[in-house]
Amino acid sequence: MDTTTHQKLIFRHMIELPHCECVFCSTQEEQTGRTRLFLVFKERQKVYMRNGIKGNWEEVSNPEEHNAVWDGFEQAVMERKVPSFVASSNDLAQL
C-alpha cells in the first residue's frame, strides 16, 4: 500500500488476537479524524491496513508509513493508556 501523505495516528483501541499472533488496532488520523484499522504482527514485524473499499487487508509496504504505525504501536503499548483487550479462543468459539 502506498500513500503520498503521512498523518500522525492516535491509537484508540487494541485487541490482542493470540490465535492469529497479531494485534488489531483502531486508530484515528490526528488532522482529519479518519479511522484507520491495522493488524500488527509483532513476531513477523508486519503491518496490514484495512482497505474498506476493496474489503481486504493490505500490507503496509511503504517504509515510512510502516515505521510510523510500528513506532506508534510500540509507544501505545509502552504508555499503557490505550484500552487494550485480549481475545481468548473460548470467546471466539461462541461467535
**Digit-coded pLDDT (tens) for 32-80:** 999 999 999 999 999 999 998 899 999 999 999 999 999 999 999 999 9
88: confidence class by pLDDT, cuts 50, 70, 90 = confident
Is residue 61 in a domain? yes
State how many domains the chain has: 1
Q: Who has greater pLDDT, 87 or 69? A: 69
Is residue 53 in a domain? yes
Containing structural domain, residue 71:
9-86
Is residue 2 in a domain? no
State the pTM of this model: 0.81
Is residue 3 in a domain? no
Is residue 29 in a domain? yes
Is residue 32 in a domain? yes
Q: CA–CA separation, 21 vs 77, rounded Å?
A: 16
Average pLDDT in the 12-27 region? 93
Is residue 68 in a domain? yes
pLDDT of residue 91: 53
User: Grid coordinates standing for 94?
Assistant: 461462541
Is residue 39 in a domain? yes
| Dihedral (Cα; 47, 50, 55, 61), 10-degree rounding | -40
Does residue 16 surpass a pLDDT of 90? yes
